[in-house]
Chain A
Amino acid sequence: MNPALLEVQELVVEFHVQGTALRAVDGLSFDVGAGEAVGLVGESGCGKTTTALAIARLLPENGRIVSGSVRFDGEELTTLKRGPFRRRRWKDFSIIFQGAMNALNPVQRVGDQVVEPIRLHEPATTRRQAWKRVGELFEMVGISRDRRKEYPHQFSGGMRQRVMIAMALASRPRLVIGDEPTTALDVMVQAQILELLERLRRELGLALVLITHDLSVVAETCDRAVVMYAGQLAETGTVEQLHRRPLHPYTARLMGSVPDIGGVRRLPEGIPGQPPSILRPPSGCRFHPRCDHAMEVCAEMYPARRSFGPEHAVHCHAVSEEGRIQDPAALPLIPSARALAAHDPDAEGLA
């Protein structure tokens, strides 16, 4: 594996809402090697975007990193002063924001909007040079350079997303964080954008963090994935490992919830219950109320990280020493889990 470009360790992010601290990300660790694509996966509200914002120091005013470290190329980012950090963000790593529709200024020509980050980070660049570079960037992302002079409303959703990508690449970063870059685009355009990201990764040696709830996107583009549940790390491994041999019951359920078009026609299973409210998260492993493998210990403490192989790691009490999900029948289950294991529909109410 490549030496890590981005290392996130034991990251804890809290939001202060009406006097109480809500823990949106709780002890998350993962790393991204140079040129590697890593997916950050989980249901809505599980802390994916918060993680990205925390890394980029763009959290809203009531949010802050409580503890943990974020290192880029070996250098600690969380303790960096404002000015130096601002100069590095976008130059080291940049972000493609969720929702391309609103992310462009409607009254500024798209070319000028890409010029902005270039000139901010390379003040020596003249307008003419920057404009020329925008042309190159546009062609790199598959937009004709003649369209620099147009306004955002003249672009379709997919084209706007390409502009956003061009903007993210403006200062030649080594890592791009894509926050749901293909959400709200239709499937064809989605495929084109993913293909583009894939190509840029190959050609520019770009590392990619892809935040998504869409497992197929991860399967298609990423080498590895980090599965989050309610702010906690559930499991991390290569896409292959997670697909073939998921260790965490949540990952297993997640994989089971994708309909299989090739196989037998059946309804995808889904995961009973709903993601917990961040206002009152469950104790211990936050997944335990919805887990059909939950035991007493799960409600009491968050399981430690256990590694199986160089890339595969999981936080789950129900995984055996040999790295297998144990049969629920052999475990001292708590009532909610027993109900779930028995496929009792009433169990949903217990979550």
Chain B
Amino acid sequence: MILRRLASSRQGLLGMAILSVFGLVALVGPFLVGPIDRAGASPSLLDPSAEHLFGTDRAGRDLFVTNVWGARISLLVGIVASVISMVIGTLVGIAAGYLGGRWDAWLMRFTDFFYVLPTLVLALVLAAILGPNLTNVIIVIGLTSWPGTARIIRSQTLTIRERMFVDRARAYGSSSLRIMRRQVLPNVFGLVMANTTLTIAAAIFLETTLSFLGVGPRDSYSWGRILEESFSAGALTLGKWAWFVPPGLAVVLVVLAFTLIGGAFDEILDPRLRSRGGGSGAPDGHAEAAPAEDVAGAPLAGRV
């Protein structure tokens, strides 16, 4: 249902189209192309041909196969790391914003601490300490990318907290925890989702960077690692464009796709903007018709 609404926005549609291609490659691609070649399976540094679509790397591995597996790893890192970051960021943001006072002060100082540390440097250090395997890289990215989310969610929570329905929920006996869960969370959820898709883009980018700098996962091939190997082999000067263009382009496209979807998400998760798209939860059409006009007058409806 959400997907259909996502498709009704042009940028959402484009983002989804790009993403579904890569998603499909990541999910079923590895089964079709088989395992990554062992070193020396083919002659090294071949140019693209019918047999080797993207040519081979210096160790003689087929680069098309490696790139297909890279899609799986890059997306996995991006999504899992973002979920970690989203959960931490949302919990910290809502707690700080809603509870206020001392809670707010301490939680936000804690957030600021992470915020001022350059993410890349922190991730580099952590990855070097923990050891460069896939799980650690995911954890490192998750733990370093939440402060932005926390700040955004906190500021949104601050405005929600002052709304009448929060007072009313308190009046009929909701505890603070329940208000955060039932009143605040649903109201910041659109923002959380929008932010998560953006975080995924950033996480994929960060993973690529870490790999490129040599502290990415050594136990699996991501796009970043392919780029790193092409770079250290001097693929650019060798004119082996097929070694670095496909993974580079793939990263750019996936990051773009998530950014587009992130922008579209914000609108569609707001029920006030939902009515005209059809496919809303209400089965009775009559109720939809008239109030949809009200929506046009609502301040949020003005956006493109």
Do chains A and B stick together as partners?
Answer: yes
**Residues of chain A in range 236-260 having any CB-CB distance to chain B below 8 Å:** none
Whether A107 pairs with B172 at a CB distance below 8 angstroms is no
Considering the chains assembled together, what is the distance between the CA atoms of A147 and B287 in angstroms? 8
Whether A116 pairs with B182 at a CB distance below 8 angstroms is yes
B172 partner residues in chain A, CB cutoff 8 A: 89-90, 94, 116-117, 120-121, 167, 170-171
User: Any chain B CB within 8 A of the CB of A153?
Assistant: yes
Whether A106 pairs with B271 at a CB distance below 8 angstroms is yes
Partner pick for A102 among B165, B186, B272, CB 8 A cutoff: B165
Partner pick for A154 among B168, B173, B291, CB 8 A cutoff: B291
Whether A102 pairs with B164 at a CB distance below 8 angstroms is yes
Nearest-Cβ distance from residue A130 to partner chain B, whole angstroms: 13
**Residues of chain B in range 129-178 having any CB-CB distance to chain A below 8 Å:** 163-165, 167-174, 178
The binding surface of chain B is classed by DSSP as helix
Give the one of B164, B167, B270 with max A CB within 10 A: B164
Nearest-Cβ distance from residue B74 to partner chain A, whole angstroms: 33
A113 partner residues in chain B, CB cutoff 8 A: 165
User: Any chain A CB within 8 A of the CB of B298?
Assistant: yes
Whether A58 pairs with B171 at a CB distance below 8 angstroms is yes
**Residues of chain A in range 33-81 having any CB-CB distance to chain B below 8 Å:** 56, 58
Whether A86 pairs with B295 at a CB distance below 8 angstroms is no
Q: Which residue in chain B gives the minimum CB-CB distance to A98?
A: B164
User: Any chain B CB within 8 A of the CB of A302?
Assistant: no
A102 partner residues in chain B, CB cutoff 8 A: 163-165
Considering the chains assembled together, what is the distance between the CA atoms of A146 and B281 in angstroms? 12
Whether A154 touches B164, Cβ cut-off 8 Å, given contacts A106-B187, A107-B189, A116-B182, is: no
Whether A103 pairs with B288 at a CB distance below 8 angstroms is no
Whether B187 pairs with A105 at a CB distance below 8 angstroms is yes
A108 partner residues in chain B, CB cutoff 8 A: 182-183, 186
User: Any chain A CB within 8 A of the CB of B284?
Assistant: yes
Q: Which residue in chain B gives the minimum CB-CB distance to A159?
A: B291
Whether A86 pairs with B291 at a CB distance below 8 angstroms is no
Considering the chains assembled together, what is the distance between the CA atoms of A103 and B170 in angstroms? 12
Q: Digitize A76-116: 1 where CB-to-B-CB distance is under 8 Å, 0 elsewhere.
A: 00000000001101100011010100111111110001001
Whether A120 touches B165, Cβ cut-off 8 Å, given contacts A106-B187, A107-B270, is: no
The 8 lowest CB-CB distance pairs between A and B, nearest first, are: A102-B164, A117-B172, A154-B291, A103-B164, A105-B165, A90-B172, A151-B271, A153-B272
